[in-house]
Amino acid sequence: MQNHEEINRLKNLVQDLLDESKKQGASSAEAGLSIDNGLSVNARLGEVETIEYHCDQSLAVTVYIGQKKGTATTNDFSNDSIKETVKAACSIAGFSSEDKYAGLPEKDSLATEFPELDRNYPWDIDAEAAIKIAIECEDAARSYHAEINNSEGAAVNSHQGIRVLGNSLGFLQGYQSTRHSISCSVLGERDGDMQRDYWYSVSRNADKLESAKDVGVKAAERTVSRLGARSLTTRQCPVLYSAEVASGLIDSLVGAISGGSLYRKSSFLLDALDTQILPSFMHIHEQPHLKMALGSASYDSEGVATAARDIVAGGILQGYVLSSYSARKLGMVTTGNAGGVHNLVVDSGDNDFAAMLKQLDTGLLVTELMGQGVNRVTGDYSRGASGFWVEKGQIQYPVEEITIAGNLKDMYKNIVSVGNDVDYRGNVRTGSILIEKMSIAGE
């Protein structure tokens, strides 16, 4: 699967850069290299709209002169450019102030085992074939229902990249990975009411993508289901977050327990370690070594080994999300999360989506959120939302132009259940999440 010859060539390049850093007076250094190639095609109303070929490369070096740090980047991989880039990084370090927490990770924290994670599945597709798929996807959406009257188009994307990371502690590793997707967005109209919605499928392996037809039909189904949307009166009621928006609730939790928020004291979960932050049935864990998953990695962006671990168990916060720097600031040790989490899994209950609606009984199903109304310091939460009003477990009608509000601390503690309708399309894997009560501002 991996092109070892090419990876070795690029490893040598990174090693040259590290050697050059030492030569120019750096006491330690790290370097990262990336090369990305890709094809993106957009079709709209049966016609090709854009065809883009991507070819990007970049090389970044961070040098430490004692506790002073300097970083420089280049997209030119020539010997002269490498020397100039190192010179620039050393110059920046020379003007920087000392930071006693700066530096490479501890040597014993670096990854030494590199399991095969099945991240590289090149898609042998040309622009003509990609256009055909995009048009097929959009045609399926446009012909789904008479009320679909316009389209924002369908897109097919295929990307392949190489990443190499090295540092002066002897760490030097690289890997190839791919990411492919099909997406579609269409508009519908009924009695002057216009709505739009979309759907997409993404995978490292193109063979695992939903079919173009299925993506188009799902986009159209979602659009038609929103026609005739109305607002709600202001009230308090249970709220069910559909799986594709529920991941945002977990992202907010990760942000609040991340090192940067904690050492800046800008988190509503300050000093929450070993305390109950979620109901006792909830288990959230990191699974960085899942094969073919979008967030898999055997090391983080510093080269620190990743490992499966509990973030929340029995509702109790087990660990923070730390890089080497934030760990030092907090007097702790890195958790292998420089650059973020890797495949965060929220364990689900037994309920499928229909059973989750029954458990909701009468309340709001949220399928889309708007705005950035989350205060990470206080936990106050207020987002524009649209979705569906549900009565006795049955969807009654679509709703829009409402705001849902609460405080994340309370919202987390008032989670009633997590569905088994898991969305696997991102780095956070969760089903729909039911919250006992939230405030809704409407008419």
Question: Same domain, yes or no, for 189 and 251?
Answer: no
3-state secondary structure of 425: coil
3-state secondary structure of 255: helix
Question: Same domain, yes or no, for 287 and 427?
Answer: yes
Question: Same domain, yes or no, for 179 and 249?
Answer: no
Question: Same domain, yes or no, for 164 and 269?
Answer: no
Residue 174, phi then psi, degrees to nearest 5 = -150, 160
Average pLDDT, the chain: 96
Q: Name residue, tokens 């088994």.
A: 420
Final residue in a domain of this structure, among 202, 226, 250: 226
Strands, E assignment, 270-308 = 284-286
Question: Same domain, yes or no, for 257 and 213?
Answer: no
Single-letter amino acid code for the residue at 319? G
Final residue in a domain of this structure, among 200, 226, 252: 226
Closest CA to 77 of 55, 56, 57, 54: 57
C-beta separation of 400 from 406 below 8 A: no
C-beta separation of 304 from 336 below 8 A: yes
N-terminal to C-terminal alpha carbon distance within the chain: 57
**Separation between Cα atoms, residue 65 and residue 29, nearest integer Å:** 9
Q: What is the pLDDT of residue 4?
A: 83
Final residue in a domain of this structure, among 178, 193, 226: 226
DSSP assignments along 315-331, one per residue: TEE---B--HHHHHHHT
Question: Same domain, yes or no, for 158 and 9?
Answer: yes
Q: What is the pLDDT of residue 160?
A: 97
Q: What is the pLDDT of residue 2?
A: 65
Single-letter amino acid code for the residue at 369? L
Q: Name residue, tokens 């898609």.
A: 123
Q: Name residue, tokens 């492919």.
A: 180
**Separation between Cα atoms, residue 413 and residue 406, nearest integer Å:** 12
Question: Same domain, yes or no, for 256 and 152?
Answer: no
C-alpha R_g of the chain: 24
Task: Report the domain count for the chain.
Answer: 2
Question: Same domain, yes or no, for 216 and 316?
Answer: no
Pairing of the two strands 433-441 and 428-429: unpaired
Q: How many CB atoms lie within 10 A of CB 309?
A: 15
pLDDT tens digits along 200-232: 999 999 999 999 999 999 999 999 999 999 999
- The parent domain of residue 185 ranges over 4-226
DSSP structure class, residue 367:
E
Query: Interhelix angle for 127-142 vs 212-226, to 10°?
Result: 30
Question: Same domain, yes or no, for 245 and 210?
Answer: no
Question: Same domain, yes or no, for 343 and 203?
Answer: no
Question: Same domain, yes or no, for 283 and 410?
Answer: yes
Q: Which residues of the chain have pLDDT under 50?
A: none
The domain spanning residue 199 has which CATH number? 3.30.2290.10
Question: Same domain, yes or no, for 262 and 300?
Answer: yes
**Separation between Cα atoms, residue 365 and residue 245, nearest integer Å:** 11
